[in-house]
Each structure stands twice: as structure tokens, then as C-alpha cells.
Amino acid sequence: MPTVWWAERNQCESILDIVGMCGTGPLVAIALCLLIAGVLANQQRTFRFHPNSIRYNVNNNRPIIGILSQEPSKSIASVSPESVSYIAASYVKWLEGQGARVVPIKVNQPDSYYKTVFDSINGRLLIPGGGASLVSSGYGKAGSILYDLAIEANNNGDFFPVWGTCLGFELLLYLSAGRKNFLTPCNSYNRAASLKFISDASVSRLYQRAPNDVLKTLSKEKSTSNFHHWCMTKENLTASSLDNFYRPLATSTDDDGLEFVATIEAIDYPFWGVQFHPEKNVYEWGANLTSVPHWPSAIKAGQYFAEFFVNQARKSQHRFASRQEEATYLIYNYAPLYTANVSSSFLQSYFFD
Ligand SMILES: *[C@@H]1O[C@H](CO)[C@@H](O)[C@H](O)[C@H]1NC(C)=O
Ligand SMILES: *[C@@H]1O[C@H](CO)[C@@H](O)[C@H](O)[C@H]1NC(C)=O
Ligand SMILES: *[C@@H]1O[C@H](CO)[C@@H](O)[C@H](O)[C@H]1NC(C)=O
């Protein structure tokens, strides 16, 4: 498995361009066309176009993504003491930058609320729970209800994508393992890292069509932002049988050289998770976040993940009953507050009752 698998793909795409010319070019020998087409057919075998590929059915240009809110830490709560939950604004901006709008999902609501929201949004972003427990918090409970709804919908052919970032990644692993934890403690807090792609990355929906410069940045530069104390190892992904559900696509290493899974893609579901924080590169500037990669190629790489996920959400046909109802759920009903003075992690946050 070459570490620069996209270079091979580049070759394929330039051949695609030449074949395109065959149709219109005036004097290209038929024999040459056939020869190139033969080479192309051969090369294409290395690229499996999964039915979930972004090539298909991209036809909802009003994608709305739900973000599950979470109970705030004491310091964040001090900015809005009456609020029950919050969402860091960086996640919202990360999606908005790709043409999506956001619906905040509240915690401690009746099941009927989660069902209504689920039926109306086109995808869901799972984000870090901060101090929230995966099991007992409102965040963990709502996350579990919504996970079951997403599994059921996709089983019934109702395409519904889910993305997990950092603790959201850990929550996906926990839920998919039948609510069991297979993480191991590690040291990867305030750490910029590169990705080591695993061979499945070249046929994954997530990385298969990523621009070459993005793949190069991710693999050659310390362009991913890590803030986690727990890691999933490749060994445990196998030991837990989670590898029947998720393919690992890339790993990174922690401060002690431990190799951990950095990206997962569900084999039969449109679910993805990253252990790192693609949104921090462009949107978080806390004084203590000294490791966050803010250089241009790292910004572009971080935004690629949002572009990919929002384009997946465009394939979902869920919608609110009316534009009026939609308006009452959108995050524009709330204004973010400055939280950098009380939290090293989040510049701005939205608060909910
Ligand atoms: C595997 O998971 C178990 C928990 O089920 C944990 O105790 C152990 O440290 C993990 N091992 C590795 C190598 O990640
Ligand atoms: C932090 O900033 C917020 C928003 O301006 C303000 O309400 C709060 O009082 C500030 N907290 C501290 C501890 O300075
Ligand atoms: C930043 O880190 C310093 C030193 O650990 C700590 O005293 C300070 O409270 C942190 N700042 C914020 C906003 O969390």
C-alpha cells in the first residue's frame, strides 16, 4: 500500500480527461481511444463507487444539520447561568461555511421532540460532550435515541448521514459496540498530528474523491487538531468486533507514540467519525490552544470534512412541515455569546434552555 495512493488516482483522472477529449477531438485515432479506454477500465477497478458516493442523488440544496447540544461545564455555564445546554459556535460556522443551516437539538426533551427534529433534518453532527457523561447525561441519552433513529431510517432506505467529532467519534464507537467502551487512556491533548492512511482510505467514500492537496496536507503536515485523553486502537477495533461496522481509514500517534484510529467510516451506513477537530483549524483561537494548525493548507483540509458531510446531507430528503416551522427551529433564533474569557476551548457559544 503506497502512502501516496492519490498520486495513482491522479493518473486515472488525467486519463479520464483524455478519454473525454476522444469524443470531441477531431482527429484522435480510434485505436488510441480504445487503448486508453482499456487502461482506464483497468484502473477504475481500483475505485469502488459505493452507492453512498457523493456522485449520486445530490439534489437537496437546503440541507439542515442538527447538532446535539450538551450540558455546559461550570466555567461555560457562568456566562449564561439559566441555560441547560450549549453548542460551541465553531461547529455551527464550520457547517454554515458549506451551505448548510443548523438546528440545535436540546437535551432532556420528550421522545416526540427528537422524532420531529429527526424527521426534519438532513444529517446530524455529534460533537464533544465536554464534561457530559456518555451514559447518564441528557447529551448521552438524546444521542442514544437519535442514533437508534438513524440506524432505523438507513435500514429502511431513508438515507441519513451522521458525523462524530472527537467525543462524538467516541460516542459513535460506544453506541455501535452495543453501549460498551473499548477506549484506552492516551496522551493526545493539545496535539497537532498528521494522518497515516490505511489502505481502505483509497476506496472510502470520505477520502476517495478528496482533492490531492488536501490528502497531501493531511498525511504530510501536522494538520489535525487533537484534544482527547482516550484512544481507540486498531487492536481494540478488531477485538471489539467494531471492525465489522466501521472501517478504520487513518491513524495518528499520541505524545507517547501510541497509534490510534483517527478516522472511521461505517461500512453499511453513512456514518463517519474523526478523533480530531477539523473545525478548530479555522474557528478556534483560545489563548491556551497553542497547537491548533492555522496555516492555509490546514484550514483547507479542515474545511474539506465539512464540505464532504454537508454534501452527504444534500442526499437526505427530510424536511420540516413548513418554512415557518423550519424558521422556529433554526439556530438563528439564538445569538452566540463570547466564552473565550471563561473557556480555553471555545471562542463563542450558543446557549439553550
Ligand atoms: C481495549 O479495551 C479495553 C476495554 O474493553 C481496555 O481496557 C484496553 O485498555 C483496550 N486495549 C487497547 C490496546 O486499546
Ligand atoms: C465573559 O464574557 C461574557 C460575555 O461578554 C460576560 O458575560 C462574562 O461576565 C465574562 N466573564 C468573566 C469571568 O469575565
Ligand atoms: C490557560 O492555561 C492557564 C495555565 O494552565 C490557566 O491558568 C488558564 O486558566 C487557562 N485559560 C483559560 C481561559 O482556560
Q: Are 183 and 278 part of one and the same domain?
A: yes
Asked whether residue 257 is assigned to any structural domain, the reply reads: yes
Are residue 90 and residue 197 in the same domain, yes or no?
yes
- Look at residue 206 and tell me if it is in a domain: yes
Q: Are 201 and 5 in contact (CB under 8 A)?
A: yes
**What is residue 290's predicted lDDT score, i.e. its pLDDT?**
94
Nearest CA to ligand 1 atom 5: 182
Query: How many Å lie between the centroid of ligand 2 and the Cα of residue 341?
Result: 6
Q: Based on the residue annotation, tell me whether 277 is a catalytic residue of this protein.
A: yes
Are residues 91 and 202 both part of a single domain?
yes
Q: What is the pLDDT of residue 135?
A: 74
> Is-contact 224 195, C-beta < 8 A?
yes
In a domain, 333, yes or no: yes
pLDDT at 154 (0 to 100): 95
Q: What is the pLDDT of residue 344?
A: 81
Structural domain includes residue 96: yes
**Domain identity same for 30 and 77:** no
Spans of the chain, pLDDT less than 70: 1-58, 129-132
Residues 264 and 204 in one domain: yes
| Any ligand 3 atom below 6 A from CB of 288 | yes
Return d(Cα 243, Cα 177) in angstroms, integer.
10
pLDDT attached to residue 207: 97
Place of cell 452566540: 336
Residue located nearest, by CA, to atom 2 of ligand 1: 182
Q: How many CB atoms lie within 10 A of CB 192?
A: 18
Q: Whose CA is nearest to atom 3 of ligand 1?
A: 182
283 plus 314 within the same structural domain: yes
Q: Are 37 and 91 part of one and the same domain?
A: no
Instruction: Indicate the number of domains in the chain.
Output: 2
Does residue 291 form part of some domain?
yes
Do 26 and 154 have their domain in common?
no
- Verify whether ligand 2 is closer than 6 Å to residue 338 (CB atom): yes
Residue 130 confidence (pLDDT): 59
44 within 8 A of 101, measured Cβ to Cβ: no
To the query of whether residue 186 is one of the catalytic residues in this protein, the response is no
Active-site residue (options: 166, 228, 231, 318):
166
C-alpha 182 to ligand 1 mean position (Å):
5
CA separation, residue 138 to residues 36, 176, 229 (Å): 57, 19, 22
Q: What is the CATH number of the domain that holds 91?
A: 3.40.50.880
Same domain membership, residue 37 and residue 184: no
DSSP state for residue 70 in the 8-state scheme: B
Ligand 1-lining residues (CB < 6 angstroms): 182, 184, 233, 235-236
Q: Within a domain: residue 345?
A: no
The pLDDT of residue 49 is 36
Is residue 269 within 8 Å of 151, Cβ to Cβ?
yes
> pLDDT tens for residues 30-74?
444 344 444 444 433 333 334 444 444 558 999 999 999 999 999
- Within a domain: residue 17? yes
Range of the domain at 150: 64-337
Residue 183 within a domain: yes
Spatial distance between the Cα atoms of 192 and 223, rounded to a whole number of angstroms? 6
Same domain as 119, residue 28: no
The answer on 68 and 97 residing in a single domain is yes
Query: Which of the following is catalytic: 186, 228, 277, 318?
Result: 277
Atom of ligand 3 nearest to the CA of 345: 14
Residues 100 and 186 both lie in one domain = yes
Tell me how far apart the alpha carbons of residues 116 and 74 are, in angstroms, rounded to a whole number.
31
Whether 344 is in the pocket of ligand 3, judged by its Cβ within 6 Å, is: yes
Among the bound ligands, name the one nearest to the CA of residue 337.
2
Mutate to test the pocket of ligand 3, among 289, 344, 348 (most ligand atoms within 8 A of CB): 344
> What is the pTM (predicted TM-score) of this model?
0.85
Centroid of ligand 1 to alpha carbon of 243 (angstroms)? 15
